[in-house]
Amino acid sequence: MEPKMLANPSMDFTNLLEGDLKEEVMKELKKDPEAQTANSPESKLSRISTEASVGEVTKSVNSFQYEAQNLDVPVVVVTSEIHPWSKSGGLAIVAAQYAYNFAIRGHRTMAIAPMYDNYDGAFYQCTKSFELFGGLHEVHYYHHFQNYGEGKGCDYVFIDHPSFRRPGGLYHNLSDNQEYSDNLFRFALFSLAALEVPVAIELGGAPCYGGRVMFIANDWQTGLLPVYMVHRHRAFGNYNHARCMYVIHNLGYQGCYPLRLGLPGTLQYDNFAQLGLPFAALGDLLYQYPLHERTFEGDSGETLNLTKGAIQCCDRIVTVSPTYADEIRTLEGGFRLHDFVATKSYFLVGILNGIDASWAPEKDKTIAETFSAEDLSGKRLCKRHLQRKLGLKEDDDACILSFVGRLTSQKGIDLIGSCVHWIMEDHKDGLSNVQLVMMGNGEEDFGHMLRWAETTWKGRVCGYWGFSPQIEKEIIAGSDFFLMPSRYEPCGIPQMCAMLYGTIPIVHATGGLKDSVKSWYTEPDTSTGFHIWPLNEDSFKKVIFDGLHLFFREPEEFNQMRRRAMAQDFSWSRAIDDYERHFDWTIADPPFWGRP
C-alpha cells in the first residue's frame, strides 16, 4: 500500500503521472493553463472551504424507508482519513459519505479526523493536553462547518498535533513503506482527543453535543476509542448513554504492537503501561500469537491488538458488506481473530456501502459524453476518447478490459499479470480483438509488470503506474469489462461504479463483490456481471472467455446485462436505513460495561 497525502493544495499533481499519460496531461495543461487550477484533483481539494465543492459532488435524491427512532441522537464519525482532506483508500470516501448522509438524514453530525496539514476554512477552537507515553501532549482542535442547506450540515473537527504532520503517507513513510514507529502513540492520542469533543468542546460557539451520542469508529486507527470509552469514561459514569459502533473496513490491518520490548530478564519497555489504561483493559487488547508463530525462544507472543480491543469494547460491530461479516469468522478471512469475532456474532452485522450520487453517467460532466441505459451512443464516444487518451488503437469493435486498484496481491493484480499473455494472444476463436487497461499505485514489481505489458502490446495495452481520479472515471466510462480478482474485498467501490456506467464487472465471489454483483452463472436472467470461483488462473481465464463470448457473439444478451447493471440501486439511502435500524437496536441494548 502506498498511502498518499492529498491535502496539500500546492502539490503539482502531474508528479503523480508517468509516461505517455503524463505527456498527454501536460499537453492539455499547455493548451489550457486554467485547466490545472480548474480541473486537477488537487485543485478540488484546495477549494474545500467553499460550500459548493462537497455539496456538489454528493447531493443525492434521498429515499429513506426506515422510520428511525433515534434521529435525535447525534452521530460522531471518528476516522483517520476523510475525503477531501486526507485519503489513502476507500475509508476516506466512505467516512465522507457517513458525514454527509447522517447529516442529511437528520442527525446532528460531527466527523473527527487528524489534521495532517493546514486546512482552509478550519478555525481554531481550543487546546487540550493528554498524558500518554510518559509525557503531556497538547493538541489543538480546529472546526469547519459544512452547510448542506435546509438547516443541515456537518461539523468537521480536526485534531492537530505535530506527529500527524509528516511528509510521507498517513501511516507509512514512502521511502521503505514501513509503518511509522510512533503509530501507537499517534492513534492513541487521536482516539483520546476525539472522545473529548462531544462532551467538552463547543464548536463554533454552539452547545456541546453531550454524552448521548452514537460514535462510529473506523478500523484499527480508532480501535482504542471504544477501549478508552469503556475503561476511562464509563467506568466513572460518563458516556453511559453513548454507544459505539466499530466499523471494519479491512480486517487485514489490525494495529498490532508488541506488548513489551526487550528480552526477558533485561530492562523492558512496556507499551501498555504508556496508554493510560487500567489493568482491566489489558485483557481486552491482548492477543497472544500461537506457539508456532513466535519468533524466538522465550518470546511470549504477546501483542497489543487495537482491533481486538475495539471488537471487545464496542457496542456493535459492522462490516462493510454482509458476506464480509461471515468471512471474518472463518480461518481464511479472520486474520487470526476469527474465533474471537465469532464469539461476538450476536452483535455483528454487515451493511453494504453505497456510492455517492455523482456516479451517474446521464449527468456526468467529467466524461467525454453522457449516456444512459436507453441511449448507449455516448458510451461509444467515451470508449473512443479513452482509446485516444491512453494511446490505444481507436477501434469501436475492440473489447476493453480494465483494472483500477492498488497494486498489491490483495487486489489480484498478480493474477492479471500471469494471464496477460493469454488475454492478448490470438486463440483463433474470433474473440481476440481485446484491449487491456491497468492503472494503480503500489508495489514496484507490479508497476513494472504494467509497463512491460504496455511495451509488449503497444497500442493494445495501457499500463499506467500511478493514479488519477479523473482517468479512473474515464476508464470506468469507456471500458466494457471491469476486472476485480481481489483475494478478499470487504466491500469494494469501483465494481458498483462500473455497473452504473454499463461496464460489466468480472469479480472474485468474495465479500462485497459477491454481494453487489449478480452472476451470469447463477442467475442469468437478472445477472449484472460474472463471478470467479474459486479464484485461480484457470477459472479466471474461463470467466474472461465467457465474458468475451457474450460480448462478441451475443451482443444483444450483453447489452441487456449492461442495462440491468445500470439500473442497480447502490445509493447511500439504502445503507443508511440499515445503519439507522442498528442504531435503534444498539441504543435499546445496554452499553458494554467491561468484562465481568
Contacts with ligand GLC, residue ranges (CB under 6 A): 89-91, 94, 249-250, 320, 353, 489-493, 512
Shortest distance (Å) from residue 461 CB to ligand GLC: 26
Shortest distance (Å) from residue 486 CB to ligand GLC: 8
Distance of alpha carbon 595 from alpha carbon 587, whole angstroms: 19
Residue 476 parent element (H or E) = helix 469-478
Shortest distance (Å) from residue 92 CB to ligand GLC: 9
**Of residues 159 and 493, the one with the C-beta less far from ligand GLC:** 493
- The string of DSSP letters for 148-212 reads EETTEEEEEEEEE-GGG--SS-SSB-TTT-PBPTTHHHHHHHHHHHHHHHHHH--GGGPPP--S-
Report the amino acid identity of residue 215. F
**Of residues 212 and 336, the one with the C-beta less far from ligand GLC:** 336
Distance of alpha carbon 224 from alpha carbon 188, whole angstroms: 6
**Of residues 275 and 493, the one with the C-beta less far from ligand GLC:** 493
**Of residues 85 and 371, the one with the C-beta less far from ligand GLC:** 85
**Of residues 98 and 239, the one with the C-beta less far from ligand GLC:** 98
Shortest distance (Å) from residue 119 CB to ligand GLC: 22
Shortest distance (Å) from residue 88 CB to ligand GLC: 9
User: Closest CB to ligand GLC belongs to which residue?
Assistant: 90
- The string of DSSP letters for 532-566 reads E-S-SHHHHHHHHHHHHHHHHH-HHHHHHHHHHHH
A 10 A CB-CB count for 35 gives 14
Distance of alpha carbon 221 from alpha carbon 51, whole angstroms: 29
Report the amino acid identity of residue 446. F
Contact 443, 407 (CB under 8 A): yes
**Of residues 89 and 361, the one with the C-beta less far from ligand GLC:** 89
Shortest distance (Å) from residue 443 CB to ligand GLC: 16
SS3 505: strand
Contact 531, 495 (CB under 8 A): no
Shortest distance (Å) from residue 553 CB to ligand GLC: 33
Report the amino acid identity of residue 487. R
Shortest distance (Å) from residue 491 CB to ligand GLC: 3
Distance of alpha carbon 129 from alpha carbon 139, whole angstroms: 6
**Of residues 417 and 492, the one with the C-beta less far from ligand GLC:** 492
Closest to 216 measured CA to CA, from 322, 110, 308: 110
Contact 304, 254 (CB under 8 A): no
What are the residues whose beta carbons fall under 8 Å from the beta carbon of 424, sequence distance 6 or more? 434, 436, 453, 456, 457, 460, 461
Distance of alpha carbon 154 from alpha carbon 152, whole angstroms: 7
Residue 112 parent element (H or E) = strand 109-114
Helix intervals (H) in 434-468: 444-456
* Per-residue burial over 421-443, b = 16 or more CB atoms within 10 Å of its CB, e = otherwise: eebbeeeeeebeebbbbbbbbbb
**Of residues 378 and 405, the one with the C-beta less far from ligand GLC:** 405
What are the residues whose beta carbons fall under 8 Å from the beta carbon of 185, sequence distance 6 or more? 132, 133, 163, 274
Shortest distance (Å) from residue 209 CB to ligand GLC: 25
**Of residues 96 and 230, the one with the C-beta less far from ligand GLC:** 96
Shortest distance (Å) from residue 84 CB to ligand GLC: 16
Shortest distance (Å) from residue 511 CB to ligand GLC: 7
Shortest distance (Å) from residue 489 CB to ligand GLC: 5
